[in-house]
Chain A
Amino acid sequence: MTEERRLFRAWLILMSLTLVSLLAAFGGEGIEGGSALSLAVLMGTAFIKTRQVLDHFLDLREARAGWRAFFTLLLAGLLLILLGVGLIPTLMQEAT
């Protein structure tokens, strides 16, 4: 694949996932457990999008496996914390 095509594909994935996240945010309304699922989809798409920027726009794909793993852990850790804090109200409701 040429460099131009690789960058275009990354842009296309980023744009598509932005639309997916917009749809996910409002698709869960009125469905039991839908908001929790929406939040999970939002954090999941954010993870893929940030990886696309790191790997293709910032060329992290050329770095050693250790650095790639570090950024995966940093981003996944942050997004999982955000997901966890966001889900506390739902988990508390289910517990009572």
Chain B
Amino acid sequence: MNAKLKDNAEWGALSALPGNPMIWILIISELVVFGLALIGFMAMRFLKPEIFATGQAALDYWLGGLNTMFLITSGWCAARAVHARSRDQRQKARLWLGGAGMFGAAFLVVKLVEWSEKLSQGHDIAFDAFFTLFYLITGFHAAHVVMGLAILAIVGWWDSLENLKTGTAFWHMVDLIWLIIFPVIYLARGL
């Protein structure tokens, strides 16, 4: 077993996972919750194909793609922060963490621009089934981004290696979920 896993011996099967076992419980739970929401989205798309085709056509897939790249780059910065901290390079780790936060904030700015554009076109949460699910799923995810940014700030301040690993693991989970949301909501069109 890798040395990173030895600290979690009392967690049973979860002790075989790297980092804090609690974060893996959260990752599995969130994957299931968002997974079910996206299955619901696809099922509604099957039941109301015209509404969903119109709704998806109204989305800007390039903004969605840009946001995907922001979160991916943010995740890379967070991973580099942990790597720097594991080598006792605290300042460097904070800089990488700052980069992760900056790209995460850029994601939220793009998301707000996108939502305000849709709202100005009259596409609010009650407009139709597509926009109800669009706002619920992307809004719930954005709430995780906000929480993740707060966590990054906290672990940047109290910057033990364990804190950094746990905080950035939450951030990678947010990234992971978006990588499934993006193709389902923005790109899966035309069927």
Contact = CB atoms under 8 A, between A and B. Distances in A.
B120 to A, nearest CB: 25
B176 A28 contact: no
A74 B28 contact: yes
A62 B4 contact: yes
Interface residues of A, number: 51
Contact of A63 (B18, B38, B190, B191): B18
Contacts of B68: 18
B131 interface: no
B5 A25 contact: no
Interface in B116-162: none
A28 B190 contact: yes
Interface size class of B (residues with CB under 8 A): 35 or more
Q: Dominant SS at the A interface?
A: helix
B34 to A, nearest CB: 9
B113 interface: no
Interface string A35-60: 11011001101100110011011111
B183 A86 contact: no
A86 B180 contact: no
Nearest to A70: B28
A42 B27 CA distance: 22
A21 B17 contact: no
Interface of A: 3-4, 7-8, 10-11, 14-15, 18-19, 21-22, 24-25, 28-29, 34-36, 38-39, 42-43, 45-46, 49-50, 53-54, 56-60, 62-64, 66-67, 74-75, 78-79, 81-82, 85-90
Interface of B: 1-2, 4-5, 13, 16-19, 27-28, 31, 35, 38-39, 42-43, 45-46, 49, 61-62, 65, 68-69, 72-73, 75-76, 78-80, 83, 168-169, 172, 175-176, 179-180, 182-184, 186-191
